[in-house]
Amino acid sequence: MSQKTQKVIIKANRSLWDLELKDFFKYKDLLYLLVRRDFVTSYKQTILGPIWVILQALMGSAVFTVVFGNIAGLSTDGHPAFLFYLCGTLAWQYFGSVFGVGSNALQSNLNLFAKVYFPRLIPPIGQAISSLLNFLIQLIVLFIALGIYHSTNPDAVVGPRGEVLLLPLLVFQSALLGLGMGFIISAASVKYRDLGRLAGMFTQFLMYATPVIYPISEIPERYRPLLAWNPLTFIVESYRHLLLGHSTASTLEYGIPSVIITFIIFLFGLVLYNKTQRSYVDYV
Amino acid sequence: MSNPIIEVENLSKRYRLGSIGVGSFLDDLRALGRKLKLPCKKTDPDKEFLALDNVSFSVSEGEAFGIIGHNGAGKSTLLKILSRITEPTGGQAIIRGKVSSLLEVGTGFNEEMTGRENIYLNGSIYGLNRNEIDEQFESIVEFAHVGKFIDTPVKRYSSGMFVRLAFAVAAHLKPDVLIVDEVLAVGDLGFQKKCMQKMQNVTTGGMTILFVSHNLQMIRQLCPKCMLLEKGKVISIGKTSDILSQYVTSKKKYLSCLEQEMQSERRRGTGLARFSKISYQNTEGQEKTKFFLQEPICFSFEIVAKEEIASLMVIIEIKTENEQEKIICASHEITSRPLKPKDRVQFSITFDKPNLSPGSYPIYFWAGTSDHFHFDILDNLLPPLEIGVPPKDSGTFRGLVQTSSSLAIHSLP
């Protein structure tokens, strides 16, 4: 017989840092297939297909424009209201969908995880990647909306500049943050489902604590350091900076705590998720 | 000899009994408190249950190793731990090689996807990479017999095709260790045979198999060596024929198993009424599991109604050793009057001339109403019926049933 390729040691109380990353890379074909499956099946048996994603973004932004812009009269930081909200939703929705994927990772894959071993990180990471499809569609909608706006207002200064190339980094950060927070919720609600219920409420609260429907420049100066603790403040404001041209909280002052907190949350979520998956099938 | 490919040392698994809620939350808090060296009460040991208790064994390369034991003996827990689905609470296991485990057929199949896509997805869930699947693809399709349906979504497959395809993928994995749990109980007889053959081929090819089944025939066919588990402990390890006879005939085990099964609330059926006692007796009322050829067999029962039931009917089925066919099926209506909760009914059913050949016969007990609404099903949970040869009689017995026949010659040149 050939030299055995691997040796598995199964024992109690493994180290928290045993993240099974070696296995993760061995299963990269599975990751690829899962992402491809999501791409292929996401619009099966719908007539309008991706148009729903477009409609959702347009409708949401239109409602925000009317309710918060026109009726409540909130400032939009000098950006055209519709573009401002469209950009906010774009940023928020990708984070939100990744957070949703993460916070259900152990629960929605139970049937699979209870029957066969493969690295438990693959399904949520795969879904975080396939969520990019909707994100890209929305991004295109935003660019089209920008184009239309420019053709009707030729002197407008709104729009992306060269810095827009940094966008992937920002997307990556929102994915890490969404997965990290999601993993914490998913792991914590395995045994006691109460937390799963809290997650929904928490997302809503978080959206209002993040400058999605208002710019941070609307917040009195002395409260802003408080908002800097919310890593999403920097993320959402930076989307606006990169895609619309300017914003307030896209500076290092917000960026450094945001990136550090993102990494801490992601690492904590990763370790907790990994620790929980080892025997969670006993509890659910 | 080199190191064994599977080495299990003092493996234990402890479960907490009872439901998860405020009570278990308090227990968790206390456990946390003890970790922080606070004076906290210990968890009540009655609330804990050892599914595996210091299990040790080793399997060498290329061996087919069977695991048998009554329900609740810890077989599935052991396989789950070795498949890395859950963690042990003590001890360790070392597996030197790549492991694939089939705890269920068709795990991860996606209804919307075609057969072809599912082969790739399922294969990669089991850890194959794309090249390996490419190489095996043709023979998977051939083994599964799905032919031109390969590009049709599997939701349009018949259940037989689905199972065949799922097993075909599993059978073409090339792990060093294959862990199999009862999955062969699916599909038709012909396909099962094909699967068994495939499994036998792979062991001759050097693959190690860990096999759990209630089907003793399959264990006998496939595994030269096996292990008997009971209540989480290893009772014995050795040559399959020795272990099987130990498993089947020991009366002490039979009784303890019977008691345990009778108390088990997890068994099938709606539970409106339950068998509370079943014994196999001879005409003198002596309890035994082994009967001689042509000896009358009497099954004595007690059934307790848990809720109000309209009527009561009982069915006994005696099956062939591989549980595929019924040899005898006897049904009796016990009463057509309603029973109240806690009513007890005692009765017995006797086969005066069972006519069965020597061998071991799984038995199935069913209780329900005459319109086939079932209360309780004991599906091969009790030990099989053993028919032996009387000491003075030694002939060869062919066929399942022995009936006397007479010869009359009408012409002979």
Which residue range forms the structural domain that includes residue A256?
21-283
Q: Within a domain: residue A190?
A: yes
Residue A46 lies in a domain: yes
Closest residue by Cα to residue A84 from A218, A250, A239, A252: A239
Mark which residues 35-74 of B lie under 8 Å from A by CB. 61-62
Instruction: Show which of B250, B277, B293 is a domain's final residue.
Output: B250
Same domain, B228 and B296: no
- Min Cα–Cα distance to chain A from B58, Å: 14
- CB contact, 8 Å: B156 with chain A? no
CB contact under 8 A, B125 and A1: no
B18, closest residue in chain A (CA to CA): A283
Q: What is the largest CA-CA distance in chain A?
A: 76
C-alpha to C-alpha distance for A250 and A85, rounded to whole angstroms = 17
Maximum Cα interatomic distance, chain B, rounded to a whole number of Å: 100
Does B25 fall in a domain? no
Q: What are phi and psi of A174, to 5 degrees?
A: -65, -30
* Pair B261, B402 in one domain: yes
Kindly report the nearest CA distance between residue B174 and chain A, in angstroms: 12
Q: Which of B250, B275, B308 is the last residue of a domain?
A: B250
Split into its structural domains, chain A has a count of 1
Please tell me whether residues B333 and B290 are part of one structural domain.
Answer: yes
Show the domain range for B215.
59-250
Contact A12 B92 (CB under 8 A): yes
In-domain check, residue A16 = no
Whole-number Å distance between alpha carbons of B51 and B33: 26
Residue B121: which CATH number? Answer: 3.40.50.300
Answer yes or no: do B314 and B205 share one domain.
Answer: no
Instruction: Give me the number of domains chain B comprises.
Output: 2
- Chain B residues touching residue A279 (CB < 8 angstroms): 86-87
- Does B6 map to a domain? no
Whether B94 and B240 map to the same domain: the answer is yes
Q: Where does a domain end: B210, B229, B250?
A: B250
The answer to whether B68 and B215 have CB atoms below 8 angstroms apart is no
Residue A5 in tokens = 């390729």
Question: B342 and B243 in one domain?
Answer: no
Q: What is the residue-level pLDDT of chain B in tens, covering all 413 positions?
A: 567 899 999 999 988 776 667 777 777 777 778 777 777 766 666 677 889 999 999 999 888 999 988 777 888 899 999 999 999 999 999 999 888 888 877 777 888 788 998 999 988 988 888 898 999 999 899 888 888 899 998 888 887 788 888 888 877 888 888 888 876 555 566 777 777 787 778 777 788 989 887 777 778 888 889 999 888 999 899 998 888 878 766 545 555 555 555 665 556 677 788 888 888 888 888 877 788 888 889 998 889 888 888 889 999 999 887 777 888 889 999 988 889 988 899 999 999 888 888 888 888 888 988 777 888 887 766 777 888 776 665 566 677 787 878 889 999 88
Task: Give the CATH number of the domain where residue B294 resides.
Answer: 2.70.50.60
Distances (CA, A) of B318 to A132, B267, B326, B366: 59, 19, 6, 12
